[in-house]
Amino acid sequence: MSDVELEHSEPVDEDVLLDGLSTTASKRFLGIWDGVAYDYETLDKNVLARDLERVERYYRARGYYQAKVTAARVIELDKRHVRVVIRVDEGLPVYTREVTITGIERLPFDDAFAAQRAITLMPCGTSCASAAPFDEEQFEQTKAEIVRVLANRGYAFARVTAQATVNVTSREATAAFDVEPGVRAVYGPIRIVGLREIPEGPVRDSLLLLEGRPYSLEDIEDAHAQLVNLGVFSTVSIEQDKSDAARARVPLTVRVEEASLRTVRAGLGARVDQLEVTSTMRAGWEDRNFLGGMRRLQVDTRPGLTYFPTRFGNFVAPTQLLPHNRFRSELRQPSFLEGRTSGSLSTEYNVYPLLFPLPEGINPDKELVIGYHELRAAAGVQRPFFSHHLFVGTSYNWQANFPFLYKESPDQSRLPAGLGPVRVSYPELITTLDFRDDPLHVHKGVLFSNSLQVAGHIFGGLVSDVRVRPELRAYLPLSRTVTLALRSGFGFLFPSDYGQTLTARAPTGIPVVIDDPRSAAVVRDQHKLLFRAFYSGGPISNRGYGFREVGPQGPVGFLLQSGTVDCFRPRSESERAQCVRPLGGVALWEASLEVRFPIVGPLGGVVFADASDVTRTLRLRLTAPHLSPGFGLRYDSPIGPIRADAGYRLLEHIGPSPPSTELQDEARTRPLFGVDWLPIAVHIALGEAF
């Protein structure tokens, strides 16, 4: 069957109606070919006859009680394909003339007012010309919402009797809701069933439900979400015993089934992009009941090799192997201080090289590669609020980076002057407001997050600044299977003891490199910026660009190849290329638009448009959006979506080139495989871009 069409005039949700029919069109691979990857759908006239009855019933439930299917044509396209066209005469709609609610007069004013506001089925009043027709689904939802509102206010035994009267002749409907609220209830005994290894105390503390406390359906649902989020139970249910309304007590039975509490992880991975080609191993262990009390201990190490200078677009044989490793451990304690607050303590030790895109015309064997021993530690608490929609976390963080020579160059056998350890110490406040329908496969909803960091010498660090990073994401369903995803993010950095190499100005007012890039003062300043400044470009940023390719560019003193390079007066393209490296900025904006759709089975696709900019001053520049549209594929694997994205640099904004003393606005980005007419960046990663 090639297609099923609906001919009608009144606004009903056609997608929902057609999805509910058994007579459906054959699925098309990539939305084009039917019979490829999917089986054909066949036409059954008996099934079609029942579907026509469903169509009429759907219209009547939406207020069109005179709706009739006037024709159902089966059009033969060829010997194997037909198209079904269903024509509907909707007739005139029935409108809601009157809505009444009784029984709430016995309630306190606040409770009665809340029950009244729960009514979403509104009468059209004196004029129904612009009103919506009477909707049976909305009628039932109103009944359920009244019960829910009262249950949230303690009326566990509330009942609502609803009656709708429809007069097709006068095209009027009346709805009446009679409320029997009963008495306010309290929780009875609370039992927890199904625990084996996990002690009962922390589970009971997490519930925040106590015998004798006022009943609330919302609190019970919140307790259910809390137990699920603990991550130690495979199933969770909370049963309510409402058999004894006379005592106004509701006993609860919490039934849980413990998941596997200990996990060993092992795997292999690889990274291929414009910066590097690496292979990585992973070994990890997790105990979700460490020393009892549902403490979660995670230990993870990821050793690997970087094949230098091999990278995407430059698949040459590696001349040197750069080992690296990332080790992390975290201990998380639920019910820390109180039932819903969790505490965490984490440590990290990482060894890795600092890699940049190789300048054109540079011999990789002469390239200096700096590496870091990195130590991190953090201690914090997090708590959910408002039915697990708002998450607030605060932590104290400490980070120290100790540079060393990963790879010497012929002209450099020791660390450049001024390149010493960088210590950053800061408290951080993270807030997240999450109204998404599904964190892994989002179809609709909104998420807002913000990170606020205050670093300073008072906390024992060598860097003093304030860093703010808000972001908003929105997801809109275009159909049952197609999602429009949008993201907008900003970043502002307020440094107080570094950043001079970005903000210093010549007499003309143009930002310049204020000194010899190799001087110890400039190196120290750039070294701090490396860990605190904003960058843009890459797989979770602007996908038309490589990692850090959007943003201020200039000479990075501790990476210059030899003492003979003068970035103010470069003598060759090779020297010129060495003077253009990412410096970062203090103001950032990013925006993305993405349409996600299924292709076949677990394979899906996206089309997207990304834009971003990074500036040296605390202002947002909208005249250089670095716009990059593109497309991508998604494979829904058990560990999350595996994605491949290709972004095309539609608009390029290139700042002035040396020998000017100005800093550049962005790198001269490299086309794919060196082909000038392919200004494309390709990214392969795990998880959605946002």
Q: What digits encode the pLDDT tens for the residues 187-220?
A: 999 999 999 999 999 899 999 999 999 999 999 9
Q: Residue 683 pLDDT > 60, yes or no?
A: yes
Whether 503 and 430 map to the same domain: the answer is yes
Task: Calculate mean pLDDT across residues 297-309.
Answer: 95
Residue in the structure block whose two tokens are 């002035």: 656
Considering the domain architecture, whether residues 7 and 60 belong to the same structural domain is answered as yes
On whether residue 352 sits in a domain, the answer given is no
Task: Supply the pTM of this predicted model.
Answer: 0.82
pLDDT at 657 over 60: no
113 sits in which H/E element: helix 109-117
Q: What is the pLDDT of residue 3?
A: 63
- Place 292 in a pLDDT band, splitting at 50, 70 and 90: confident
* 43 falls within a domain: yes
Q: Say whether both 645 and 612 belong to one domain.
A: yes
Pick from 160-174, 376-390, 573-587: least confident: 573-587
Confidence of residue 639 (pLDDT cuts 50, 70, 90): confident
Report which listed range, 411-425, 470-484, 633-647, is most confident. 470-484
Please state whether beta strands 550-554 and 262-272 pair in parallel, antiparallel, or not at all (unpaired): unpaired
Residue after which a domain boundary falls, among 180, 209, 238: 180
What one-character-per-residue DSSP string does 165-190 give? EEETTTTEEEEEEEEE-----EEEEE
pLDDT at 276: 86
Sign of the CA dihedral running 202, 204, 207, 213: negative
Residue with tokens 């448009």: 609
Strands (E), 567-657: 581-582, 587-600, 603-615, 628-637, 640-648
Q: Are residues 101 and 233 in the same domain?
A: no
In a domain, 336, yes or no: no
Residue-wise pLDDT for 11-31, tens only, equals: 677 777 777 777 666 565 555
Q: What is the DSSP string of 310-330?
A: -BTTB-PPPSEEEEEEEEEEE
**Using one digit for the tens of pLDDT, what is the confidence trace for 64-103?**
898 888 877 777 777 777 788 888 888 888 999 889 999 9
Residue 659 has pLDDT above 50, yes or no: no
> Domain end: 149, 180, 211, which one?
180
251, 109: one domain: no
Q: Are both 39 and 158 inside the same structural domain?
A: no
CATH of the domain at 171: 3.10.20.310
Q: How many residues does the chain have?
A: 690
The answer to whether position 369 is within a domain reads no
Same domain (yes/no): 526, 631: yes
Q: Any idea which of 82-96, 166-180, 352-366, 503-517 has the lowest mean pLDDT?
A: 503-517
CB crowding 184-196: b at 16 or more within 10 Å, else e: bbbbbebebebee
Q: Kindly report, residue by residue over 268-289, the tens digit of the pLDDT.
A: 888 877 788 899 999 999 999 9
Q: pLDDT at position 595, please?
A: 96
Which residues are CB-contacts of 481 (< 8 A; sequence separation ≥ 6)? Answer: 597, 598
pLDDT at 471 over 60: yes
The answer to whether the CB of 628 falls within 8 A of the CB of 543 is yes
Q: Exposed/middle/buried for 181, CB within 10 Å: 0-12, 13-18, 19+?
A: buried
C-alpha triplet 665, 671, 676: angle, nearest 5°:
110
- Domain shared by 479 and 624, yes or no: yes
Alpha helices in 434-572 (DSSP H): 500-503, 520-532
Comparing 156 with 25, the larger pLDDT belongs to 156
Q: 109-117 and 136-152 helices cross at what angle (nearest 10)?
A: 150
Residue 510 has pLDDT above 50, yes or no: no
Residue 572 and residue 429 share a domain? yes
How many domains in the chain?
4
How does pLDDT run across 543-599, given as a tens digit for each residue? 988 888 888 888 888 877 655 566 666 666 666 666 778 888 999 999 999 999 988
Average of per-residue pLDDT values in the chain: 85
Is there a single domain that holds both residue 669 and residue 684? Answer: yes
- Token pair belonging to 244: 């004894």
Q: Is residue 316 in a domain?
A: no
Q: Is the dihedral of CA 57, 62, 65, 66 positive or negative?
A: negative
Residue type, 540: I
Q: Are residues 159 and 64 in the same domain?
A: no
> What is the predicted pLDDT for the residue at 658?
41
What is the residue whose two structure tokens read 């470069």? 570
The pair of structure tokens assigned to 80 is 């194997």
Q: Which of 139-148, 238-247, 419-428, 550-559 has the weakest average pLDDT?
A: 550-559
pLDDT at 373 over 70: yes
- Helix, strand, or coil (residue 120): coil
DSSP alpha helix (H) spans, 314-374: none
Note whether 148 and 78 are same-domain residues: no
- C-alpha pair distances (Å), 527 with each of 321, 373, 521, 587: 25, 14, 10, 18
212: containing domain: 186-258
Asked whether residue 495 carries a pLDDT value surpassing 90, the answer given is: yes
Phi and psi at 439, nearest 5°, equal -60, -30
Span 231-240, pLDDT tens digits = 899 999 999 9
